[in-house]
Structure formats: structure tokens, C-alpha cells
Amino acid sequence: MNLVKIRIAISLLVFTLFLLLFLGGGKISVFLSPILLPLQFVPALMRILTQPEILFIISLTTILIISLIFGRVYCSFLCPLGMLQDIISALSRKSGLLRPYTFRKPHNLLRYSILGLTIATLGIGFLSLVNLLDPYSITGRIITELGQPLLTWIYNASANLLKYLNVYLFPKETPYLPLWALSVAFCFLILILIMSHRTGRLYCNTLCPVGSFLGLLSRISIFQLSIDQNKCRECVRCEIVCKAGCIDPQKKNIDQSRCVNCFNCLEACPQSLIIYSPSFNKIKNDEWSPARRGFLIAAFAASGSFFLAFNSGTAGLRKIAHANDRLPITPPGSVSFAHFTCACIACNLCVSACPTNVITPSFLEYGITGLMQPLMNYQKSFCDYECNICGKVCPTGAILPLPLEEKKLTQIGEVKLIKEKCIVYVDKQNCGACGEVCPTHTINFTNKSNVLYPETDTRYCIGCGACEKACPTSPKSIVVRSNSIHKKAVQYIAAAKLPQPKKETSNDFPF
């Protein structure tokens, strides 16, 4: 059927673009993000809630309208996790390991309860369930945390081979990803592999909140798949190719809320008794319906969450993420700790696009409310003074795009010199590593007996972490403390510096 071929072609194209989005580097990510990300349901929704833009409003409205007209075509054509499941199923079929699909009873209580709970927690600013279950975020973490290390390993192996030919143009790369991040991504991949291999789109119809919500809309969609009950001979060919497990051959019925419009049944039916057409004259069923109860649960959760979202009493709950004095440092453009944790869906696109790999995944550093949201890891790298890519690729507005000149004055944290650990103050030996790399002249040196002692002026500091990364002591004697609300640094002007006493000379750099 032409519909099947069109679906496969579009799905493969979109999934290839998603691979490039997460693995192609900063420039490719910046180019593809405004094309692909408005088409994703959760990123578009979060962008509207945090930083409304007409493009995202139009795109989300379009997804909803398309679902009301054509059903869950989003799940087949645009959802990257859906495409990944289809690829796994296709490979299983080619290898001969895939067993025929069978009709499965719907788990309505489970999926609609998850949907209602996700909406409710989202309404009060807790994104744990969204981060954990959103199909776009899951795909992003799998590609970033498993695909990037694999590509790096291939790159390093190739570079080592070239060294035997006396070619030394390609330096070794060592991107940092926490072991727990690799483990979580691997566990999700295994889960998707097992579910896709055995039961097709089971994840979409049991755990995915986006699939459950669009399934409610699909029940009343204009175009629906239906079986000619008078002529059907129950050959079950449609059942064994239905990856959603929603075709009941005995009742000759298709569960529209679970159908992902893959159109495999159209191609499988030998007598063309399955049609995709408008269904204006549906028979009304006044009997008890689990899906109807699911709709009521989701609607109640949505209304309750909006009430809680604007209730001042819940504002305190959103700020309980941390009680210690060292909050995670959020990227420039994230405005504040609260803004970032209430908008980031942990898709890790900023992690994959960051050229210095300073943005790394976290686990519980933001608390349970900000599960797996990334942070600035100055133990491993630093924020490039001339870079603002993360704000350009963030799909939800958790990291807002900043002009480069504004980014250079955005203070995401303040430097703190711990003199009790600094080798200059402790051993009276010159070091200067922190001052050599500071791009804002925050660190100056005072000459005392031919020893250059570092001093800091936090007015100029933007919290880029270059000094902390360069510091040779362990533990670090110069660290960056997070600003819960980002500030604006003072631009350094050499002529405006205060004169130093005659016995002591001040230099911007020690060498």
C-alpha cells in the first residue's frame, strides 16, 4: 500500500534527522533544532508554558488538530521513540525472531492513571515523570549517552590507526558521561528492545503519557480504520501484523485509542475489508467504558494541576529541591535555578551539542523534582566564553537563547578562592593556572617577594569554571558557587582598575 511506504519513508527520514540532531555536533544541532523540535509534543508544550512563541503554539495546535482528524499519526510519523520501536520490530522480523502479534486487552487503568499523574505533577512544576516517560526525552538520552560514546570510541580507534601512517591530525577525545547515565540509558534501551521485540508498541499504549493523551483524541477522530464486519472471515492476518495489538478479530473491532495508524493491516488484509475513511455515523455506546473513565481522570488531573500551578501555596514546594549551600550550576540563559528545573525535560540535547562537554547529565543533584536534568560540571570541563549553542538548541525554553555579548556578561555563578588550599598561599610558590585561563580578568595577581598571589574580584566573574578546571590542586582551591538567580557581571575595562600600592604591583596575568 502507498500509505505504508509513505509512512516508512517519512519515519526513516525523520529518525535520521534526529540522529544528526543529537550526534552531528553543535552547528548541525543549531540548524536542525528549529525544524524538528517544534514538531515534538512535550517540547512544544513546555515551550508554550515557559516562553510562548507563535511557532510552538502553531505546531502544538497543528498536532492536536491532526490527531482529531486523522488519529495518532503523530506516533507513527513524528515520534522518535515510536520510530525506534518500529526499527527494532523490523529488524526482529528480518531476523526471523519476531513472533506474530496478537490482540492484547487494553491496560486503561494503568495508562490513564500515569497520564493523570503526569499532568498533575507537571502542573505544580515537578517534571520527574515527564523527564522519565516523555518519548522524545528517552530517545535523546539513548542517542546521547550511548551513541556519543560509541562514536567517540570509533573516532579514537580510527585516529590510532592513522598514527601508524604518521598522521597526527586527529587528537584523542575523552567526553565525560557519568556511569549512572550510561546505565540508565542502557536500561531504557533494553526495556524498549524487549517490549518492541515481543509486543510492538506496548510502551506507547501503557506507559507513554503522550500516547495516552493522543489516544483519547483518536477515539473521536474523523478518519478511522474500520473492518467490514459482514464480509470479514476472521483470517487474523490483520491481527498478526498489528504492532499496537489493538485489532480484535473475534469482535471485528479496532481500538482507536491504541491504534498508531501504521496501516500494516491495510496491506495485510487479502480482501481489502479494512478501510481508512471518515466515520461520522459511529454507533453510540452507553455502556461503561474504561477509556471514558480515563478521559475523566486525565481531565480532573489537568484541572487540578492548573489550580495548583497558580496557587501560591505550591510555590514553596517547587523550591524545596535543595537545602544545601551549593546548588547545581545551570547553563547561561537558564535565568534561575527555579526556571531551569521547572522547564527542562532532560532530553540532553544541550549535552550533545556542547562543544566543551561541560554540560553533563545529572541524577538527583536537583532533587527528585528535577530527575536527570543536566548541570555544569567544572570538574571535567568549562564553559566556552565564545559559545552560546546550548540556548539555541534547547527545545523547551529551559535555556533561553542569549546573544553572545549578553552571554559574556551573564553571571551563572561566582568564583571563590580557598586560600587554605591554594599552593601559592600554602607553599609560597608561583602557579597562576587560574589567571591564565580566566577570560574576564576576574583573577588578578599581587606580587609579594617575587611570588604572585591570586586575588579575585567577583564583579567581573561570569562563573564559566575555566579557573576551577585549570586548578591543579585536589581538592580544588578555587571553585565556582552557583547563583540561584543569574546576575549580570561588570564588563572589565583596564583603565577603570583601581591603582595598587607602590610596594605591590598588580598584573592581569602572571606570565
* pLDDT tens profile 308-361: 444 434 444 444 444 445 789 999 999 999 999 999 999 999 999 999 999 998
**89, containing H or E segment:** helix 80-95
Instruction: Provide the residue type at 176 as one letter.
Output: Y
Nearest to 224 by CA among 282, 176, 174: 282
Q: Provide the grid cell at 344.
A: 527542562
Measured between alpha carbons, how far is residue 101 from residues 199, 234, 264 in Å? 7, 15, 12
Question: CATH 3.30.70.20 residue ranges in the chain?
Answer: 409-511
CA distance 257 to 205: 9
Q: What percentage of the chain exceeds 90 in pLDDT?
A: 51
Bond preceding residue 499 cis, omega within 30 of 0: no
pLDDT at 410 over 80: yes
φ, ψ of residue 355 to 5 degrees: the values are -70, -25
Provide φ and ψ at 201, rounded to 5°: -95, 40
Mean pLDDT along residues 109-134: 90
230-247: pLDDT as tens digits: 888 888 889 888 989 999
306 or 200, which is more confident: 200
Q: Which amino acid is located at 449 in the chain? A: S
Residue 259's φ and ψ, nearest 5 degrees, are -70, 125
Q: What cell does 57 get? A: 503554539
Q: For residue range 34-45, what is the model confidence (pLDDT) as tens digits?
A: 999 999 999 999
C-alpha span between 432 and 376 (Å, rounded): 23
Residue 481 is predicted with a pLDDT of: 94
pLDDT by residue (tens digit) across 52-62? 889 999 999 99
**Residue 347 contacts residue 43 (beta carbons within 8 Å):** yes
pLDDT, tens digit, 9 for 90 and up, residues 392-404: 999 999 999 999 9
What's the rounded Cα separation, in Å, for the pair 50 and 479?
A: 31
HEC string of 131-169?
A: HHHCHHHHHHHHHHHHHHHHHHHHHHHHHHHHHCCCCCC
Question: Given this model, what pLDDT does residue 258 score?
Answer: 93
- Give the confidence band of 280 by pLDDT, cuts at 50, 70, 90: low
User: 444-481 b/e with 16+ CB inside 10 Å = b?
Assistant: bbeeeeebbbbebbbebbbbbbbbbbbbeeeebbbbbe
Burial of 385 (0-12, 13-18, 19+ CB in 10 A): middle
Quickly state the pLDDT bin for 137 (edges 50, 70, 90): very high
For the chain, how many residues are written?
511
Would you say residue 507 has pLDDT above 50? no
- CA–CA dist 355, 347 (Å, integer): 17
Average pLDDT, the chain: 84
Confidence of residue 299 (pLDDT cuts 50, 70, 90): low
Number of helices followed by number of strands (H, E) in the chain: 22, 11
pLDDT for 433 equals 92
Instruction: Give the residues across from 227 on adjacent strands.
Output: 274
Cβ(328)–Cβ(149) under 8 Å?
no
CA distance 444 to 141: 41
Q: What is the mean pLDDT of residues 16-31?
A: 92
- The predicted-structure confidence for 421-480, as pLDDT tens digits, reads as follows 999 999 999 998 999 999 999 999 999 888 999 999 999 999 999 999 999 998 999 999
Let me know: does 300 contact 266? Beta carbons within 8 Å.
no
Contacts of 320 (CB under 8 A, 6+ apart): 367, 369
- Please name the fold of domain 409-511: Alpha-Beta Plaits (3.30.70)
Q: Is 236 exposed, middle or buried (0-12, 13-18, 19+ CB in 10 A)?
A: middle
Band of pLDDT at residue 371, cut at 50, 70 and 90 = confident
Per-residue pLDDT at 301:
52
> Which residue shows C-alpha cell 507513554?
208
**Grid coordinates belonging to 72:** 495518532
User: Could you identify the residue written with the cell 475523566?
Assistant: 296
Residue tagged 540532553 (cell numbers): 348
Strands 506-507 and 410-417: unpaired
Least confident span in 121-125, 293-297, 358-362, 472-476: 293-297
**pLDDT at residue number 79:** 93
One-letter amino acid for residue 8 of the chain: I
